[in-house]
A and B are shown apart, each in its own frame.
Chain A
Amino acid sequence: MESFTNRKKVVSDKPMTFIEKLYLPAIFSGMMITMKHILTRKKTIKYPEEIRVFAPVYRGQHVLKRDEEGRENCTACGLCAVACPAEAITMVADERKRGEENLYREEKYASTYEINMLRCIFCGLCEEACPKEAIFLTDRIVPTEFERANFIYGKDKLVESMEDRIDISLRQNTGKRGAI
């Protein structure tokens, strides 16, 4: 059969020559290889002193953004939940009451919004599906927990606070989506 790759190797069982039987040349070449490894720069990052820089497109824990006036962007349209291949997102929609205009940007909002971080595969499809620029993935790592229930993140953990806004510009400006 025709070979499509050049990876095929004909195995030979010819007896070893005298030099090969001495093993010494092979041992020396082996030792040269290990010597090369001794002299190479180590790629280890010493963690507590030095923290690995994430790639700009790293997809970590989600954030639900607010707009400049501190109103939640999310309108509970459910597109993220539909897009989610892991079915990690659930939400309950609610109508904005009079007097809540400073809390929610549009007439409809999510009264509960939950992401199950154990189900989530951090694919970023929710972010792509979102028409309101409400949900984004960030460079934050989901911390470990002892209880499974604690991994279901509600709005308390997902919505950013106005005092401590989450910067998502780096990820947005580097990816193929272009600047927002």
Chain B
Amino acid sequence: MDTALLIEKFSLVVIVFLISLGVAAYSTYFERKLAAWIQDRIGPDRAGPFGLLQPIADGVKMFMKEDFIPKNSDKWLFIIGPGISMFTALITSTIIPWGPPIEIFGRQIELQIADFNIGILFIFGVVSIGVYGIMIGGWASNNKYSLFGAIRASSQMISYELAMGISLITIILLTGSLSLTDIVKSQHGMNWNIFYQPVCFLIFFICSLAETNRAPFDLAECESELVGGYHTEYSSMKLGLFLFAEYVSMFISSALMAILFFGGYNFPGMDYFDGNTLAILGVLAFFTKTFLFIFVFMWIRWTIPRFRFDQLMHLGWKTLIPAAIINMLITAIVIAFHKGWF
């Protein structure tokens, strides 16, 4: 491995890390703004122009708060919990292809930190670990509300991971590859997966909402029943990390949806461009799609009331999983016919 590659990858890692955190920070701002607009208010507008410095003020506030660890809690697990949440939320961004290859200093640079050939499996693995942060945090708090939140989060994760996985199998069948790069490349131009698999997209979208613990599936933190759910006992930056991880994972899920169903960095008319122009436009297209999804996530959160726990289970096991399986089978049969296997 030569030094140039090392520098290239390292700077890419730093940039992706900063972008993820920046987007997450500003989605907290935008979330508050959007919530305000939906409720006919103005929202934060005091810190800086249009309140743009609000995330910084929030961050400072979080750091200044007393960092409290309950006496009877499991201290190490209590500290590890938010760390795992944040870590898993961030590490998914390693395999996301952010744009077409860009050329700097005569080097062809792939805008992707690591191109695994089993990208989707990696995502699944990491996302499933994500629930451990919540579970460990809730368990270590030694508080019944936290425990309830943790149990809800884990059972929710189990029920929705299945439907999500099966809906993804459909995409894998369609593309014939587990690599995210190949999946994006197969959706060249306007040839997006959403036009072939709308049902699959719907299932995946609902599961993404559940995966990121966002309303209407935010039973794990359910303020009205469980005080704060798994982060009841948390304060200061540990709480900040939990809340922040939610926004990071929302960003990553939006990016994933853009990649899997809306063509990633592909946009109609991309054949007229090449080189760095294409790369920049591709990145722009990708981020536009991602931000659109973040907007939809928030829009849904401030529209739909929270599910009841049994409704959540009912939706997961009795509706989404059968729908995903049927969708997968039909796709498989159609593909088999198409390739003349019958």
Question: Would you call A42 and B40 a contact (CB within 8 A)?
Answer: yes
Interface residues of B in 22-77 (CB under 8 A from A): 34, 37-42, 45
Question: Would you call B300 and A42 a contact (CB within 8 A)?
Answer: no
Q: How far is the CA of A31 from the CA of B298 in the complex (A)?
A: 11
Question: Would you call A38 and B42 a contact (CB within 8 A)?
Answer: no
B45 to chain A, nearest CB (A): 8
Nearest B residue to A48, CB-CB: B46
Question: Would you call B302 and A34 a contact (CB within 8 A)?
Answer: yes
Question: Would you call B42 and A37 a contact (CB within 8 A)?
Answer: no
Task: Report B-chain residues with C-beta under 8 Å of the C-beta of A34.
Answer: 38, 299, 302-303
Question: Would you call B304 and A38 a contact (CB within 8 A)?
Answer: no
Question: Would you call A42 and B42 a contact (CB within 8 A)?
Answer: yes
Task: Tell me which of B39, B45, B300, B304 contacts A37 (CB under 8 A).
Answer: B39
Check A27/B303 contact, CB under 8 A, given A37-B37, A38-B34, A38-B37: yes
Decide yes or no whether A44 CB sits under 8 A from chain B. yes
Decide yes or no whether A131 CB sits under 8 A from chain B. no
Nearest B residue to A45, CB-CB: B42
Task: Report B-chain residues with C-beta under 8 Å of the C-beta of A42.
Answer: 37, 40-42
Nearest B residue to A42, CB-CB: B42
Question: Would you call A35 and B299 a contact (CB within 8 A)?
Answer: yes
Decide yes or no whether A25 CB sits under 8 A from chain B. no
Question: Would you call A31 and B303 a contact (CB within 8 A)?
Answer: yes
A179 to chain B, nearest CB (A): 39
Decide yes or no whether A46 CB sits under 8 A from chain B. yes
Chain A contributes a number of interface residues (CB within 8 A of B) equal to: 13
Interface residues of A in 1-53 (CB under 8 A from B): 27, 30-31, 33-35, 37-38, 40, 42-44, 46
Among the interface residues A40, A43, A44, which one has the most CB atoms of the partner chain B within 10 A? A44
Task: Report A-chain residues with C-beta under 8 Å of the C-beta of B40.
Answer: 37, 40, 42-43
Task: Report B-chain residues with C-beta under 8 Å of the C-beta of A44.
Answer: 41-42
Q: How far is the CA of A34 from the CA of B38 in the complex (A)?
A: 6
Q: How far is the CA of A31 from the CA of B34 in the complex (A)?
A: 13
Task: Tell me which of B39, B41, B304 contacts A27 (CB under 8 A).
Answer: B304
Question: Would you call B34 and A30 a contact (CB within 8 A)?
Answer: no
Interface residues of A in 118-132 (CB under 8 A from B): none
Task: Report B-chain residues with C-beta under 8 Å of the C-beta of A31.
Answer: 299-300, 303
Nearest A residue to B42, CB-CB: A44
Q: How far is the CA of A162 from the CA of B41 in the complex (A)?
A: 44
Question: Would you call A30 and B41 a contact (CB within 8 A)?
Answer: no
B44 to chain A, nearest CB (A): 12
Task: Report A-chain residues with C-beta under 8 Å of the C-beta of B45.
Answer: 46
Q: How far is the CA of A137 from the CA of B280 in the complex (A)?
A: 66
Interface residues of B in 252-276 (CB under 8 A from A): none
Nearest A residue to B37, CB-CB: A38
Task: Report B-chain residues with C-beta under 8 Å of the C-beta of A43.
Answer: 40
Known: A33-B303, A42-B42. 9 other contacts (CB 8 A): A27-B300, A27-B303, A31-B303, A35-B299, A37-B38, A38-B37, A42-B41, A44-B41, A46-B45
A-B contact pairs, 25 of them (CB 8 A): A27-B300, A27-B304, A30-B303, A30-B304, A31-B299, A31-B303, A33-B303, A34-B38, A34-B299, A34-B303, A35-B299, A37-B37, A37-B38, A37-B39, A37-B40, A38-B34, A38-B37, A38-B38, A42-B37, A42-B40, A42-B42, A44-B41, A44-B42, A46-B42, A46-B45
